[in-house]
Structure formats: structure tokens, C-alpha cells
Amino acid sequence: MDKARTRQKGGFGLGLSLAQQIVVALKGTITVKDNQPKGTIFEVKITGV
């Protein structure tokens, strides 16, 4: 766990790391897009299924 990261609602920060490992194993991609005025969009494409 990276101590430099802060979390307001708790958690361990493992979600994106696990998602990346799964997507790479399935020959896919994760794209991150800004969602103004608030938030972020994570798009997962799986091509190896």
C-alpha cells in the first residue's frame, strides 16, 4: 500500500491495480477520461475474450 496516497472514504487502493492485471491478462485496455465538472470515467475494453 502506498502511504503517499490519501483516502477520504477508506479502502486499500487496490481496485485499479487488480483491474489492470485482469485486463492485461485478457489482452484488453483501460482508458481514463476526465468527466468535468466532477469525476473520472474508466473505460475497460476486453479484446482477448
| pTM summary value | 0.59
- 3-state class of 4 per DSSP? coil
For the cut 90, the answer to whether the pLDDT of residue 49 exceeds it is no
DSSP code at position 21: H
Q: How confident is the model at residue 33 (pLDDT cuts 50, 70, 90)?
A: very high
For the cut 60, the answer to whether the pLDDT of residue 22 exceeds it is yes
User: Tell me, what's the pLDDT at 7?
Assistant: 57
